[in-house]
Amino acid sequence: MPDRGHERLFDALTTKGTAFTHDERRELGLLGLLPNAEKTIGEQVAHTYQELARRPADLDKHVFLRGLQDRNETLFYRLLAEHLEETLPIVYTPTVGEACQRFSEIYRRPRGLYVAYPDREHLREVLRNRPRREVDVIVVTDGQRILGLGDQGIGGMGIPIGKLSLYTLIGGIDPARTLPILLDVGTDNVERLEDPQYLGWRHRRIGDDEYYAFVDDFVTAVREELPEVLLQWEDFATAHAQPILERYRDRLLTFNDDIQGTAAVALGALHGAAKVAGRPLSQQQVVMLGAGSAGIGVLEMIRQEMVAQGLSDAEAAERIWAVDIAGLLTDDRTDLSESQRRFAQPAARTQGWTGTALADVVHNVDVGVLLGLSTAAGAFTEDIVRELAAKTDRPIIFPLSNPTSRAEAHPRELDFWTGGRALVATGSPFAPVERDGKQHRVAQCNNVYIFPAIGLAVTASGATRVTDAMMRVAAKTLGEASPALADPEEPLLPAWEDVPEVATRIATAVAEQAVKDGVARPDDHLAATVRRTRWTPDYR
């Protein structure tokens, strides 16, 4: 941290800008470098919010906020905290999707590390060039599967930057101790390769042998440089995401948010929905449209929860139906991955069916829960939803695909087709649904309910691993905070203004589970430790 003078004034992590007092200006060598007025951080927030409000488009607002973060991190996070519901979709989904697509165009200042394949012989040097020595959380992507937008190459860096902003905003992770990383292994996006402004390695993606060797070298460098850091994998292609997670989850402190975070927040919403529906998850028939890494991750956590509720592994498997573009996953298909095969139904169960598409599954199975992680817009058709709603009093329907344009159905459609009986949570933000003259907020299964709490938990507890039990207890604690438990007309997940406090409760439960699992040190005052660990956007 710069001690004084011009460098202190322009250090984004420690500056106060016009909030430096006259005495501080003299002490730190800032006298004359600022206008005479002394502002409070509240006055700075009010002024900055006015500037933000004048930006006409969401992408313009995104660029403005990123510029503010580059200038004054404390003010950036205070502004976000005071306008959380309004700014969350700007700094992350859905606006971050467009920001990734236009990353090279809107690029202003470097943030994080770009680990490029041509520099593969110098990975330790790259890691040692990180802006700050001590790091608690890394978010890394290779840009191949950004939201539902596909391969964005180096543009994928917008995701780790955005995720880490939420680690700080919601989870209280010190922004000085976060590090976004982009593994630049090329791109198969022709539009990016032909764009003269493209800032990444202008090369097709490398083959799997070179790819896995590169990832292995990267992990080795991280372990040597930052052995205690939490490494979160983000937006990797389905073919790579699960193998990478399985390879490293028992070697270092790591998790995959698309697989485990998505699963935990979906399970959290399901906890509340099942209680409102009056039918435990273990007694539901669950259908998932989408059998990629995220979909399979959700089903795996559902299976674990069903077992925890008393079913055998085989009994749980009988209640889970996964559908992909080719139809129901069945044991006679030869195109399934090992993780998909775990959820393949016996082909004999479809005997007499006219087909195995989603509509056929809903027609032939007593479905109570319908989930979507397919990015197939409109896949939950009126006919499918109405047939499902005829089977149960409170159908549970979660169109979870991102961004909004890829959602399997819109909440207002689901509400209309089910006569207001559907218990709905989405993956993207949607406007409230109007029913009986009232506005009903739609729960968004945003991973922000989970991953910042995981970061806070492992940072506070000193955990060395992220276990399945830690993720399930995160989901359970989130489910217990469902407003719908007190009033079935309320949404399934807490309001955004309550999320930081809910994250603290989740982090405490997760830290306690880490101790039970033997991956964290015992602490008689763990709840207090978690709260004490939180960074807050206040000038020091």
What angle, rounded to 10 degrees, do the helices at 451-461 and 158-171 form? 60
3-state secondary structure of 327: strand
Instruction: Identify the helix (H) or strand (E) that includes residue 232.
Output: strand 230-233
Residue whose token pair is 């002024």: 47
Residue found under tokens 């060797």: 213
- Residue 223 vs residues 102, 110, 291: alpha-carbon distances, Å: 33, 24, 32
Catalytic residue among 61, 77, 114, 163: 163
Burial class (CB in 10 A: 0-12, 13-18, 19+), 354: exposed
Give buried/exposed letters for 339-351 (b at 16+ CB in 10 A, else e).
bbebbbbeeeebe
Sign of the dihedral defined by the CA atoms of residues 521, 526, 528, 532, in that order: positive
From 61, 77, 92, 275, the catalytic residue: 92
CA 453/CA 446 separation, integer angstroms: 13
Residue 258 known to bind ligand = yes
Length of the chain: 540
Neighbours of 94 (CB within 10 A): 18
Whether 391 is catalytic is no
Q: Which residues pair with 186 in a beta bridge?
A: none
**128: phi then psi, degrees, rounded to nearest 5:** -70, -15
Number of alpha carbons in the 13 Å side-chain half-sphere of residue 145 = 19
The answer to whether the beta carbons of residues 12 and 22 sit under 8 Å apart is no
Contact in structure between 371 and 287 (CB atoms under 8 Å): yes
**Amino acid symbol at 325:** I
Q: Is 72 annotated as a binding residue?
A: no
Neighbouring-strand partners of residue 521: none
Q: How far apart are CA 508 and CA 529, in angstroms?
A: 9
130 by DSSP, 3-state: which?
Answer: coil
Answer left, alpha or beta for residue 516, where phi above 0 means left and psi between -120 and 50 means alpha.
alpha
Dihedral over Cα of 11, 17, 23, 26: its sign: positive
Rounded to whole angstroms, how far apart are CA atoms 423 and 407? 16
On whether 234 is known to bind a ligand per the annotation, the reply is: yes
Query: Beta strand 230-233 with 286-289: parallel, antiparallel or unpaired?
Result: unpaired
Residue 446 assigned as binding residue: yes
Q: Is 235 annotated as a binding residue?
A: yes
| CA-to-CA separations, 178 to 56, 65, 161, 230, 479, in angstroms, rounded | 31, 18, 9, 10, 28
H or E segment to which residue 426 belongs:
strand 423-426
Contact 65, 530 (CB under 8 A): no
Identify whether 61 is a catalytic site residue: no
Which runs of consecutive H residues, i.e. helices, occur in 201-337?
208-225, 238-248, 262-277, 293-308, 313-318
CA distances (Å), origin 359, targets 28, 286, 328, 420 = 68, 14, 10, 21
Annotated binding site: 145, 234-235, 258, 402, 446
Which residues are known binding-site members for (S)-malate? Answer: 145, 402, 446
* Known binding-site residue numbers for a divalent metal cation: 234-235, 258
Catalytic residue ranges: 92, 163
